Amino acid sequence: MSDPNCVFCKIVAGQIPSRKVYEDDELLAFHDIHPWAPVHVLIVPKVHVASLSDVDASHEKWLGKMLLLAPKLMKDLGVTNGYRTSINTGPDGGQEVYHLHMHVFGGPRPWAKG
């Protein structure tokens, strides 16, 4: 259920502090420690699942809830002009933390043109 060496399991357990924006029995959302956008939150399942490649049908409910939560959080955090969602998976997907998480990037991005 949880991995003692996993940084996001430690956040879920309250052993590492985070700036939480949402919590229920299955999900936790908190601000990324190194934001890439004015609003940058991570949505994670409380259960330890290493990556999107490791999900199965028993995870269907909270996987759906992760997607439903993104627009709600952006609205709650005042993002009105769109946002980007990203689940990095595996080495070639740029995944660094091996506890499944969805990035949600909102607000104007410094690297965006125009």
Q: Are 46 and 29 in contact (CB under 8 A)?
A: no
Binding mask 75-104 for ligand AMP (x = CB under 6 A): -------------x-----xxxx-------
Binding of ligand AMP at residue 14 (CB under 6 A)? no
Q: Are 37 and 109 in contact (CB under 8 A)?
A: yes
Binding of ligand AMP at residue 16 (CB under 6 A)? yes
> How many residues comprise the chain?
114
| CA-angle at 15, arms to 14 and 17, nearest 5° | 70
Distance between CA atoms of 66 and 64, rounded to whole angstroms?
A: 5
Using DSSP, state whether 87 is helix, strand or coil.
Answer: coil
Single residue of 2, 15, 24, 33 touching ligand AMP by CB under 6 A: 33
Single residue of 40, 46, 48, 101 touching Zn ion by CB under 5 A: 48
Is 101 noted as a catalytic residue in this protein?
A: yes
Residues known to be catalytic: 101
Which residues of the chain form contacts with ligand AMP (CB under 6 A)?
Answer: 7, 16, 18, 32-34, 42, 88, 94-97
